[in-house]
Structure 1
Amino acid sequence: MAFYLQRWIKICLFNLLLVATIGVILRYKIAFSLPFIDQKHLLHGHSHFAFTGWITQSLMVLLVVYIANKKGENIFKKYRFILNANLFTAFGMLVTFPVQGYGAYSITFSTLSIFVSYAFAIMYWKDLNTISEKNIVAWWFKAAVVLNAFASLGAFGLAFMRIEKIIHQNWYLAAEYFYLHFQYNGWFFFACMGLISSKVSIDARPVILNRIFILFAAAVLPAYFLSTLWMPIPLWVYLLVIAAAIAQILGWIYMVGIIKKQAFTLNKTMPVIAKWLLIFSAVALSIKLLLQLGSTIPSLSDLAFGFRPIVIGYLHLVLLGIITLFILGYMFAVKSILINKRSITGTGIFAVGIIINEVFLMTQGVAALNYITIPFINEALLIAAIIMFTGLLILVTNQKIKK
């Protein structure tokens, strides 16, 4: 299994490098002239490939590893077609979106990626049921693949409105946020929680682990309305949203308590670079959960969703600060990434780039609230993108596969 795992991890890291490369191009076009590139179309390719080619591909690989470790067999051959199909659709979107935006080919590839996620969900659910050892980890993973499929309703809603030429901004944004919410707060987050639970569940009380899952599972649906507070919603829905935000914070507090109790054991078995990446990811998640609770205040919600720089900063906090750093940290923790001075240096540079990027984005967002323009902010964000790209280039070129 080690050879197949190393190969897939290397592919995932290369995909992340491609995401960073496109990020540099996008930032360069904002700061300087690049007339032969359509910014909006390239942005669509960037975001779709980041979701499918980097995060989804990596999580699928890591979830397959969990099954393989439990069943004691090389199961990568069984999932080879699905993993390759997901990779194929990701590169299809990477090529077609920058060329035509939302067109026949790009929509075809994005639709195929959804069907691949359905196939993965069905196969993975069945394999989880064959594991004799039953624990909360399986429920995190089952919820993750179901929420991934559920998110596709938002994508199909967007496609329907485009085909029928229904121009209604609130409906369009509601469908878009539906897809995004159940991707990063559903599929991405629940898969990551399942992975971390698989490392701490042995010495943790099952009742506490179950409580954490119940809190997040109960909150995930009403938490969607945190993204739609700019729309008129009934009072009872608003109260549910507040309860969901509080439930997620309580669930995270319980999880942090479990991790703290096992800190000594985890420190002995975990590389230093993995520990720091997971700490940064945990801090970012804590910030995100507090921001969610703060957004339930109507005046703050109107400000947040009214300024694009704040929305972009929030999405980067989730996708880079929480999800990407966690995935890299977990890969280092299970030693699926080659650990040496160069890989540690490259990862460190990448992490610093994320922090710098987030600081600049949030500074730009806060300034936008007061209608203040920060000089050279676009050039500064370009530098942050180049730092992230440089770190990943060092990390990726340092990986080797040993058969």
Structure 2
Amino acid sequence: MNHFLRRWLSVSFFNLLLVATLGVILRYKIAFYLPFVQQKFLLHSHSHFAFSGWITQTLMVLLVHYLAVKNGEAMLKRYRWLLYANCITAYGMLISFIFQGYAFFSITFSTLSIFVSYFFAVYYFKDLAKLKEKNVSHYWFKAALIFSVLSSAGAFSLAYMMATKMMVQNLYLAAIYFFLHFQYNGWFFFAGMGLLFTKLEQVPAIAGQLKKVFWLFCLACPPAYFLSALWLPFPFVVYCIIVIAVAAQLIGWGIMIKVLLQQKAFIQTHFSKHGRTLLLLSAIAFSIKLVLQTGSVHPALSQLSYGFRPIIIGYLHLVLLGVTSIFIIGYIISFELIPFTKKIFTGIFIFVAGIIINEILLMVQGVAALGYTPVDGINIMLLMAALVLCTGVAILFLGLIKKDASLRL
């Protein structure tokens, strides 16, 4: 089972390397002349592959590993075709978006990717039901899968608007943010928390608190979508529900922090030192996200932030890199799911440094954009940050495949 896991994680980290490489090309295209690259096409390829090839692929692998530990290694064979299918559709999107943008092949692979997620959700629900234990982590997993399926409504709405050529700006943006919200605040976040809770729920005394955290975040997730669409005209009652959802998430996170502090000894015993550091960084990034999200409750601030591209890009990178990617790597390192060598440590250190530098630069660019003030050399600096980040992933990946060169899928 360890061979299966490490080999599939090698695929995931290779995919992350491709995502980082595309990020470097995008930043180079902005800073310098690169006429043969379609910026918009490459951006679509970068974002779709980051979602499907890196984050979704890795979460699927980790969730399958959890089932295999609980229900036997037969689970590995049962899900292997789905892992291959998700990988193939991800590569299909990676290539087709680069050459044609939104067109027949890219839309086909995107649609197939959604159907793979449907099959995964059905399989996983059934296999969770077979487990004798009914843990809080299972609630997180089930909610993650439901939100993953729900997010596809945004993707299909976009496809319908494109097919019928009824591109109403507000509806177009609402569909995009619907997909994004239920992916990174739904599928990504809830799957990650489920994985974390599989470890924390080993302490029976905190089961009640862990359940409270789940319900606060779960009930808040659907109405929190409207935080991304406050520029639409809503009745006052909807705005009140949004405020309640934000408050619920803050309370849930407060309970979570309290639990983690209370179980400090348990965490130090069961989580590796470097893994704990990465998970702490992810928690800090998530706390920043919640603060920004709370600020966006004010309609004027929401319209202001969503009106400036650097702020949107900075926020998305905070969630996808600072919260999600660092969490995934922290989880993998915490429980030694890959061999932790000096080269892998170096790669992770450089990668995280690149993320922090990138976020600081995007924050500076975003704040400057609010005052319509250009920042000299910012595009070159962001290119350098992307290179640092990419270098870190490359070192991590090379260290991993050198260690696991003999393993087979």
Residue deviations 1:324-359, cap 9 Å, x none? 000000011121122021111110110010000000
User: How is 1:37-52 mapped onto 2 (pairs within 5 angstroms)?
Assistant: 37-52=37-52
CA distance in 2, matches of 1:167, 1:192: 35
Unaligned runs of at least 5 residues, structure 2: none
Q: Offset of 1:73 from its aligned partner?
A: 2.7
1:113 aligned onto 2:119: no
Matching residue of 1:23: 23
Matching residue of 2:335: 334
Deviates more, 1:10-19 or 1:72-81: 72-81
Contact 1:200 1:258 in 2 (8 A): no
Matching residue of 1:368: 369
Amino acid at match of 1:166: M
Q: Offset of 1:380 from its aligned partner?
A: 0.4
Matching residue of 2:279: 278
CA distance in 2, matches of 1:43, 1:73: 38
Q: How many matched pairs?
A: 403
Deviates more, 1:86-95 or 1:74-83: 74-83
Report SS of the residue matched to 2:90: helix
Query: What's the TM-score once normalised by structure 1's chain length?
Result: 0.99
Matching residue of 1:313: 314
Q: Offset of 1:205 from its aligned partner?
A: 2.1
Deviates more, 1:173-182 or 1:200-209: 200-209
Aligned-residue CA RMSD in angstroms?
A: 0.9
User: How is 1:227-376 mapped onto 2 (pairs within 5 angstroms)?
Assistant: 227-376=228-377
Deviates more, 1:248-257 or 1:83-92: 248-257
Report SS of the residue matched to 1:221: helix
Runs of 4+ in 1 over 4 A off after TM superposition: none
Deviates more, 1:84-93 or 1:199-208: 199-208
Matching residue of 2:88: 88
Matching residue of 2:398: 397
Residue deviations 1:64-84, cap 9 Å, x none? 111111113342111011000
Contact 1:68 1:75 in 2 (8 A): yes
Query: What's the TM-score once normalised by structure 2's chain length?
Result: 0.97
Q: Offset of 1:155 from its aligned partner?
A: 0.1
User: How is 1:134-213 mapped onto 2 (pairs within 5 angstroms)?
Assistant: 134-203=134-203, 204-213=205-214
Deviates more, 1:258-267 or 1:363-372: 258-267
Q: Offset of 1:270 from its aligned partner?
A: 2.3
Residue deviations 1:296-351, cap 9 Å, x none? 01221111011110000000000000000000000111211220211111101100
CA distance in 2, matches of 1:82, 1:99: 26
Residue deviations 1:125-167, cap 9 Å, x none? 0000000011111110011011101000000000000000002
Report SS of the residue matched to 1:205: helix
Report SS of the residue matched to 1:67: helix
Matching residue of 2:54: 54
Report SS of the residue matched to 2:336: coil
CA distance in 2, matches of 1:259, 1:71: 28
CA distance in 2, matches of 1:368, 1:337: 41
Matching residue of 1:224: 225
Amino acid at match of 1:88: I
CA distance in 1, matches of 2:207, 2:333: 26
Matching residue of 1:387: 388
CA distance in 1, matches of 2:74, 2:276: 28
Contact 2:272 2:335 in 1 (8 A): no
CA distance in 1, matches of 2:380, 2:391: 16
CA distance in 2, matches of 1:8, 1:143: 24
Q: Offset of 1:55 from its aligned partner?
A: 0.2
Q: Offset of 1:200 from its aligned partner?
A: 0.6
Amino acid at match of 2:287: S
Report SS of the residue matched to 1:250: helix
CA distance in 2, matches of 1:255, 1:166: 44
Contact 2:31 2:380 in 1 (8 A): yes
Q: Offset of 1:290 from its aligned partner?
A: 1.1
CA distance in 1, matches of 2:61, 2:19: 18
Deviates more, 1:256-265 or 1:347-356: 256-265
CA distance in 2, matches of 1:4, 1:334: 16
Report SS of the residue matched to 2:338: coil
CA distance in 2, matches of 1:333, 1:205: 21
